[in-house]
């Protein structure tokens, strides 16, 4: 089908870097009116500095978009962060921080946009999850947990919002080469009982990310699902990750778990 979005108003959260920036650039190139909600300001797009974990700020930002453009056709929930370390040693503060951004941040913007889309008779919400939602990664357990929560929320919302013409889908990227790698927060207080396993696991993750696909690959996938008449419930990004997730669904769970243990733990 046509990927023409020239008449669409698109909100992208976290569009100042990485996948969010690539996605916003692609939609803008295709003629969409792109609004970036992010903590940092960017001159590349219409930008409303917004902390998506702040519900009042999100409501004000979405109201401003509605007032300026009259509608909101597509929402791409991309803003997120990563933390690494043993679950046992990770502080409650750090856990709450990643859930506030990765899960509640997406929820805040989604809840603010739904009434606008319902009033106008439809729209599309694309949530950025992760392959880690399907294949939970040791020593990145809380990132995996937040992304699993995002995937589950997306699947449930899909049916809640279907009667209003609002399409909901999740995109699950594999390893992508962005500054997300250098921005990951690392737990400095891991228990000595884990030895060098945490450091080795993180090193594997970071190597894979630095050699990962371009964020443009995921941006094109987001465009495809956002403009599909009947988008999938979820779509994995990156050819080899599609295969890995497909294999994980047919192989015994214990075997999949053991493979992940050998890879990362």
List the structure tokens of 250: 């047919």
Query: Quick one: three-class SS letters along the chain?
Result: CCCCCCCCEEEEECCCCHHHHHHHHHHHHCCCEEEEEECCCCCCCEEEECCCCCHHHHHHHHHHHHHHHCCCCEEEECCCCCEECCHHHCCHHHHHHHHHHHHHHHHHHHHHHHHHHHHHCCEEEEEECCHHHCCCCCCCHHHHHHHHHHHHHHHHHHHHHHHHCEEEEEEEECCECCCHHHHCEECCCCCHHHCCHHHHHHHHHHHHHHCCECHHHHHHHHHHHHCCCCCCCEEEECHHHHHHHHHHHHCCHHHHHHHHHHHHC
Please state, in angstroms and rounded to a whole number, the distance separating the CA atoms of residues 26 and 8: 13
Helix 141-161 to helix 92-99 angle (10° resolution) is 30
Choose the catalytic residue: 69, 143, 194, 241: 143
Q: Does 143 qualify as catalytic in the annotation?
A: yes
Which residues are part of the catalytic machinery?
143
């Amino acid at each position: 089908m046509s990927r023409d979005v020239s008449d669409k108003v698109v909100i992208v959260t976290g569009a100042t870097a990485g996948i969010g920036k690539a996605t916003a650039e692609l939609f803008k190139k295709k003629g969409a009116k792109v609004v970036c909600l992010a903590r940092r300001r960017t001159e590349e797009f219409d930008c409303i500095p917004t902390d998506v974990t702040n519900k009042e700020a999100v409501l004000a930002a979405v109201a401003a978009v509605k007032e300026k453009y009259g509608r909101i056709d597509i929402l791409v929930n991309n803003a997120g962060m990563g933390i690494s370390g043993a679950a046992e040693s990770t502080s409650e503060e750090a856990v709450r921080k990643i859930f506030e951004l990765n899960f509640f941040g997406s929820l805040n913007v989604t809840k603010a946009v739904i009434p606008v889309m319902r009033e106008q008779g439809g729209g599309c919400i694309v949530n950025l999850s992760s392959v880690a939602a399907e294949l939970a990664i040791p020593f990145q357990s809380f990132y995996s947990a937040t992304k699993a929560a995002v995937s589950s929320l997306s699947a449930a919302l899909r049916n809640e919002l279907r009667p209003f013409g609002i399409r909901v889908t999740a995109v699950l990227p594999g390893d992508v080469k962005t500054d997300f790698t250098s921005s990951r927060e690392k737990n400095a207080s891991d228990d000595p009982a884990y030895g060098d396993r945490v450091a080795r696991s993180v090193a594997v993750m970071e190597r894979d990310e630095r050699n990962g696909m371009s964020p443009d690959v995921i941006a094109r996938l987001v465009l495809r699902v956002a403009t599909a008449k009947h988008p999938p419930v979820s779509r994995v990004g990156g050819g080899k990750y599609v295969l890995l997730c497909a294999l994980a669904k047919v192989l015994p769970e214990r075997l999949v778990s053991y493979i992940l243990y050998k890879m990362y733990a």
